[in-house]
A and B are shown apart, each in its own frame.
Chain A
């Protein structure tokens, strides 16, 4: 089950065919992209199903049970249904904006996977600015949500879009600052270098950055618009928020992107704080997916426990609590690292 050997085999195969230079690069990249697309699509379907199951069992229900084993094919059936639905564009919508919003939201969350290390050597591109790239790319989500809210020409959608913009920009700050602690310790922005710094379980950055991890999880929950920070799509107030006017496959793209974003932030948490793909016995990619799903489960658990925050509380929490704490964490990390170097280094 060592995937890297499999990939090496295919690489040799391509080389034997006679591909060289640019052609080889293009072919390999297209193949990797296609593979990622497939894996992520399956993962998104699985996450939707899992979320429904977790929520159901927390509420003593069963959740989907009809399609497939314990409803495991339910999301697939829903996807097929959404494909068949009419694609409605509101009369007074800003058409190009309305059309491109779901495309951008999906592609931005897909692009983040360029630098996510799935296993030992399993990374589409190990950029030396990896984590910075991810932060930059995932912020595209704000733009697309604003586009969706604006393009729909609908009060609820606009309110949802505005809220999401305010929320994501606010929480982006503590999120980035909490990541900086890890970057300081690792001394690198590259994802693989960060993972390589946490070989054993006691080397995981979560032990050296507990506050940073906490801030990251909270800010990431807000970043992906999940309860208790799901104001952009607060059903009781905004019907569905920014995606209220979307139907059919466009809605499905928003929906899947939402779950993929959740997977993305969990994958980043795994990489930065939980040792990435490091782990004994099992192949590295299994460790990565397992840890990531554990973080996803925590996010789901949080979602089905807490009520939604009020708008002013949301902002207050970000600027008055998380931001100072993140700064404090940064200062403590710097001082602690320096002291460690002086005493033991």
Chain B
């Protein structure tokens, strides 16, 4: 008896297998015909590093602050700069060695001036390794059409900076937390701190232009990190 049951079970399962594969047959293939089609990369995907330029003037946003160079764990970024007559640093060369770049995105996070970004471009095969060392021109060229949201602050306060920058920056460090709370209190939602972490930050991002206009130096960088991430999310979702 059990033998018959086994046989029937076996035949049933074999037919079940055929059913599964036959249901797969008319389904749409998931294959992407790669060189002809490409995935649309999400805006925040970490492709090649590019230098961004101001959309109106066409000049590079980079202020040669070296933050990205310091942040780079593999030392793929090499910056050379010189002091101009206006006592500001000017880039003379900006090189990214893509053979050692690990695409971690720390340089983008370090940058306070929307000067560089990890673009969505991920195909840059070449015949010779040396072609993978991109200089300033090439990086600017690659970043020409990369969309980005420029930071809404720095231009005006730059002049006032030298005097109030230091004390302001010092104040910011300890006061960063309380300041947020005081500002967000009026809104009932943000009042409950622990659960509304993201809402908190988002509020912060909106108010930032007023709250820390002097932020050219390091302290602001810490605040900009969450700022930049939250800044872009809504756009990407749209």
Q: Which residues of A contact B (CB under 8 A)?
A: 54, 56-62, 65, 301-302, 304-306
Q: Does B17 contact A (CB under 8 A)?
A: yes
* A27 and B20 alpha carbons, distance in the complex (Å): 51
Chain A residues, Cβ within 8 Å of B30: 60-61
The minimal Cβ–Cβ distance linking A10 to chain B, given in whole angstroms, is 41
The minimal Cβ–Cβ distance linking B233 to chain A, given in whole angstroms, is 32
> Contact between B14 and A59 (Cβ–Cβ < 8 Å)?
no
Partner of B14, one of A54, A304, A306: A306
* A57 and B14 alpha carbons, distance in the complex (Å): 20
> Contact between A61 and B31 (Cβ–Cβ < 8 Å)?
yes
* A58 and B26 alpha carbons, distance in the complex (Å): 8
With A60-B30, A61-B31, A62-B31 as contacts: A305 and B17 at CB distance below 8 Å: yes
With A57-B24, A58-B24, A60-B24 as contacts: A301 and B18 at CB distance below 8 Å: yes
* A62 and B22 alpha carbons, distance in the complex (Å): 16
> Contact between B21 and A304 (Cβ–Cβ < 8 Å)?
yes
* A305 and B16 alpha carbons, distance in the complex (Å): 10
With A62-B29, A62-B31 as contacts: A306 and B17 at CB distance below 8 Å: yes
> Contact between A57 and B29 (Cβ–Cβ < 8 Å)?
yes
**B contact residues, total (Cβ < 8 Å):** 15
* A59 and B21 alpha carbons, distance in the complex (Å): 8
Main secondary structure of the interface of A (DSSP, over half): loop
B1-33 to A contact mask, C-beta < 8 Å, 1/0: 000000000000010011011101111111101
Q: How many A-B residue pairs have CB under 8 A?
A: 35
* A60 and B28 alpha carbons, distance in the complex (Å): 6
Chain B residues, Cβ within 8 Å of A306: 14, 17
23 contacts between A and B (CB under 8 A): A54-B25, A57-B24, A57-B25, A57-B26, A57-B27, A57-B29, A58-B21, A59-B24, A60-B24, A60-B27, A60-B28, A60-B31, A61-B30, A61-B31, A62-B29, A62-B31, A62-B33, A304-B21, A305-B17, A305-B20, A305-B21, A306-B14, A306-B17
Residue of A nearest to B26 (CB): A57
Chain B residues, Cβ within 8 Å of A60: 24, 27-31
> Contact between B22 and A301 (Cβ–Cβ < 8 Å)?
yes
* A56 and B29 alpha carbons, distance in the complex (Å): 8
Chain B residues, Cβ within 8 Å of A302: 18
Residue of B nearest to A304 (CB): B21
Chain A residues, Cβ within 8 Å of B24: 57-60
Chain A residues, Cβ within 8 Å of B14: 306
* A62 and B25 alpha carbons, distance in the complex (Å): 11
Residue of A nearest to B19 (CB): A305
Chain A residues, Cβ within 8 Å of B27: 57, 60
The minimal Cβ–Cβ distance linking A5 to chain B, given in whole angstroms, is 38
> Contact between B29 and A301 (Cβ–Cβ < 8 Å)?
no
Chain B residues, Cβ within 8 Å of A58: 21, 24-25
The minimal Cβ–Cβ distance linking B125 to chain A, given in whole angstroms, is 20
Residue of A nearest to B11 (CB): A214
* A302 and B20 alpha carbons, distance in the complex (Å): 11
Top-8 shortest CB links A-B: A62-B31, A305-B21, A62-B29, A305-B17, A58-B21, A58-B24, A60-B30, A61-B31
Residue of B nearest to A214 (CB): B11
